């Protein structure tokens, strides 16, 4: 039954439209077009606050048709008038019709438990969100992701953390509050040419070393008494090297 009424309400929200409106004394007549290309006249009696539709679904089935739901929506009625819900689907009205009175025990049955109220609220919230965000894919995706997260956390038994809790956890971890304004500076310029060292030191090639050595003024070695680029400390090593080089040249 819930599904059937829900279908009528969805039909009223999405498919129905008013094609004509007229008023007679205290009665408003709405011409309502539905998705089956049918046009029915819904009469709204302002004195009795009653609604009737030409399709007579209420008379046949006992629940309101999409046309009346549409008019209810247009006249800003948030709660379905009790006379349209009590007629057929509640024990009290049946008992009243048969016995002429309602026993006390039945009257107290209408006190619904908290679980029922909560589940009704959830159903309303869910379908409300679904109806509101149906046209927006991004919002619908957010809604679905949120629902999935909630389902997973409920399944695993952990309590879902709200955005505020998460923020507090992160702030506790870092030991400081999140700044309202985050300033981002451009990164330091990186050298892409030459040596990447910023100290100015670089590897000097053998050739460059030799040129620099050649340009130095000559000095006299105390050991061999020659003018050259070495002193008495390096004399033996330099002479040995020169000999080796000379031998290598002779061999060639």
Does residue 53 interact with Zn ion by CB under 5 A?
yes
Q: Other C-beta atoms within 10 Å of 123: how many?
A: 12
Q: Least distance (Å) from Zn ion to the CB of residue 49?
A: 18
Here the tokens at position 84 are 């349209």
State phi, psi for 164 to the nearest 5 degrees: -65, -40
Q: Binder to Zn ion among 9, 55, 64, 72 (CB under 5 A)?
A: 55
**123, 129 contact by CB (below 8 A):** no
Of the pair 112, 246, the CB lying nearest Zn ion is at: 246
Q: Rule CB under 5 A: which of 188-227 touch Zn ion?
A: 221, 223-224
Rounded least distance, CB 67 to Zn ion, Å: 3
**Using CB under 5 A as the criterion, what x/- string covers residues 12-41 for binding Zn ion?**
----------------------------x-
Q: Is 67 in the site for Zn ion (CB under 5 A)?
A: yes
Q: Output 57 or 94, the one with its CB closest to Zn ion.
A: 57
Measured from the CB atom, the residue of 65 and 72 that comes closer to Zn ion is 65
73 SS3 class: helix
Between CA 2 and CA 32 the distance in angstroms is: 23
Q: Cβ–Cβ contacts within 10 Å for residue 67, how many?
A: 28
Whether 42 and 55 have beta carbons less than 8 Å apart is answered as no
Q: Using the rule CB under 5 A, is 65 a contact of Zn ion?
A: yes
């Amino acid at each position: 039954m819930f599904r059937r009424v829900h279908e009528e309400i969805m039909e009223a929200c999405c498919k129905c439209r008013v094609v004509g409106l007229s008023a007679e004394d205290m009665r408003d007549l709405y011409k309502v077009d539905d998705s089956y290309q049918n046009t029915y006249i819904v009469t709204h009696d302002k004195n009795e606050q009653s609604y009737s539709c030409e399709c007579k679904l209420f008379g046949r089935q006992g629940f309101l048709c999409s046309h009346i739901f549409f008019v209810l929506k247009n006249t800003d009625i948030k709660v379905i008038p009790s006379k349209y819900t009590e007629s057929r689907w509640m024990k009290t009205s049946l008992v009243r019709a048969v016995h002429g009175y309602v026993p006390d025990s039945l009257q107290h049955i209408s006190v619904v438990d908290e679980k029922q109220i909560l589940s009704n609220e959830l159903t309303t919230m869910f379908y409300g969100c679904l109806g509101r965000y149906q046209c927006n894919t991004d919002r619908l995706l957010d809604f679905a992701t949120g629902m999935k997260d909630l389902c997973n956390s409920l399944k695993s038994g952990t309590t879902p953390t709200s955005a505020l809790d998460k923020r507090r956890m992160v702030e506790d971890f870092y030991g400081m509050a999140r700044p309202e304004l985050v300033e981002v500076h451009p990164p330091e310029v990186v050298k892409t040419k030459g040596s990447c060292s910023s100290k100015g030191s670089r590897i000097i090639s053998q050739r460059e070393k030799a040129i620099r050595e050649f340009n130095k003024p000559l000095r006299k070695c105390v050991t061999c008494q020659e003018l050259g680029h070495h002193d008495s400390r390096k004399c033996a090593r330099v002479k040995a090297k020169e000999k080796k080089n000379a031998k290598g040249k002779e061999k060639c």
